[in-house]
Amino acid sequence: MTERIDQTKTTERSLPNAELFRPVVAPENKLWLIDAHCHLDDDAYDEKREDVLSALENEGVEAVVNPGCDETSSLKALALANQYDRVFACIGTHPHEASSYTFEWEAHMRTLAGEKKVVAIGEIGLDYHYDFSPRDTQRNVFERQLALAKELDLPVVIHSREACEDTLAILKNFGSSIRALMHSFNEDPKIWEELADFGYSLSLGGMVTFKNARWPKELAKCVAADRLLIETDGPYLAPVPYRGRLNLPWYAARTLETIAELRQESLPMLAKQIRQNTIAFFALPFGASTADSAYCSTKSKIGGASSAIRRGETF
């Protein structure tokens, strides 16, 4: 949740022509996209949520992970997940809502974590761009939820905006004791290098298609293939050429195409690898054959095997 959507541009009534978003080289598997981060519970989807959810399969979307932003949205995400097979929920308090965090909600999260469709704690983190909650509250709530995720053995989805130093300082205290996904990451690849050493993953969204998005494009080129996920971050950040519109899970295809171009890799193979990464990160109940995942070279990419080699580890 990084950009307030222009509500005047979200009123389109019909779903766009999906053919426009299909890649030139179609992967052999019809269900090939997993959107690792889409706020389907957001009010922006109210008028077309049912249409979007019932169109997922036709548009090649195997699953959507719906993060929570506070107690209400986490419960809404879980209700959607319980209603639709292809939706999975994260529960957590976004830095914007940190002021609303209570011990009661924390206790409730502990119970909800046992639900079958809850796959992570998120999205949590720090946002010093908007500062909707005081920074010390944001840090405290971020740390409490990281500790909770560690205790519950659930992965975490992290939002960090203009708070890179503090995010890194807090994450260093947890290191590889947690499994983290840096969502909609827009920082210098040097920062990513430190996080990759903890074994974390990274998801890229529509920003990678924006002309002036320097860091997402750099990251798309250097992240190890086995650490990369894709997302829409809907309703925000729709990829070019749909920037400013309501973002839909299958727009992730456009993001994926751009990443494949930047990496100069085969789109179907990259899609397959990213699908496997997403299934593994969230432990989604889909078949994940790893037989052909070795196609993607991790040489000179940050994270994965290459970082392990740099650190002298055996794996």
Binding-site ranges for Zn ion (CB under 5 A): 1
Give the Cα separation of 27 and 17 in Å (integer): 19
State the minimum distance, in angstroms, from the CB of residue 265 to Zn ion. 26
Element housing 173 (H / E): helix 164-174
Give the residue with the Cβ less far from Zn ion, 32 or 185. Answer: 185
Number of residue whose CB is nearest Zn ion? 1
Give the residue with the Cβ less far from Zn ion, 1 or 36. Answer: 1
State the minimum distance, in angstroms, from the CB of residue 184 to Zn ion. 7
State the minimum distance, in angstroms, from the CB of residue 83 to Zn ion. 21
Which residue type occupies 141? V
State the minimum distance, in angstroms, from the CB of residue 233 to Zn ion. 5
Cβ neighbours around 311 below 10 Å, total: 9
State the minimum distance, in angstroms, from the CB of residue 77 to Zn ion. 11
Give the residue with the Cβ less far from Zn ion, 94 or 117. Answer: 94
State the minimum distance, in angstroms, from the CB of residue 133 to Zn ion. 16
